[in-house]
């Protein structure tokens, strides 16, 4: 028989619905597990981007002299919003998608990473409508979406993604 914690660790999280709003209401254990799943997905996506030649803005000067840069990406950290105090940074970054990728030709691709049962909040949906944010729930779909958007016509991922020219 499963305990409550074991049930929460399953990909299909259990939830109740608020009778007034109809929104899903998760226990603290379930929320914690959902955030952990999303953080692991975030890490996997970022590591893959770095292996493909994507760089973070803070590393652009060093990377420019050692590799071909496919583009720049930023990660909007959840920590900006976890403080009890309202911060200026939090006010500017709230509701932005988890990852924003900038192509050298000026295009951008924005993605919100969610667990299989996670949903975007109202503010995230509003920003998503303006920025055309994709919601991805698996690494495989994230990767396919990025490759399709970037248009890797001659791209070959058979070497585990380690085929960036140096």
* pLDDT value at 82 more than 90: no
Average of per-residue pLDDT across 28-49: 86
Q: CATH number for the domain including 54?
A: 3.40.1350.10
* pLDDT value, residue 16: 59
**pLDDT 10s digits, 46-78:** 999 999 999 999 898 888 888 889 999 999 876
Q: Into how many domains does the chain fold?
A: 1
Domain that holds residue 109: 23-150
* pLDDT value, residue 147: 93
pLDDT band at 37 (very low <50, low <70, confident <90, very high): confident
Is 107 domain-assigned? yes
* pLDDT value at 10 more than 60: no
pTM for the model stands at 0.70
* pLDDT value at 102 more than 80: yes
User: CB of 53 within 8 A of CB of 69?
Assistant: yes
Is 49 domain-assigned? yes
């Amino acid at each position: 028989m499963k305990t409550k914690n074991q049930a929460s660790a399953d990909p299909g999280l259990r939830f109740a619905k608020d009778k007034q709003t109809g929104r899903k209401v998760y226990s603290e254990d379930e929320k914690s597990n959902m955030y952990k799943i999303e953080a692991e997905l975030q890490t996997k996506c970022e590591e893959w981007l770095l292996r493909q030649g994507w760089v973070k803005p803070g590393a652009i000067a060093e990377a420019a002299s050692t590799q071909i840069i496919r583009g720049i990406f930023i990660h909007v950290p959840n920590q900006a919003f976890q403080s009890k105090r309202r911060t200026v940074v939090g006010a500017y970054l709230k509701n932005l998608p988890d990852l924003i990728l900038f192509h050298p030709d000026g295009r951008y691709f924005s993605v919100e990473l969610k667990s299989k049962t996670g949903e975007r909040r109202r503010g995230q949906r509003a920003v998503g409508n303006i920025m055309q944010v994709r919601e991805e729930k698996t690494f495989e779909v994230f990767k396919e979406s990025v490759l399709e958007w970037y248009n890797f016509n001659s791209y070959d991922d058979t070497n585990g993604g380690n085929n960036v020219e140096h």
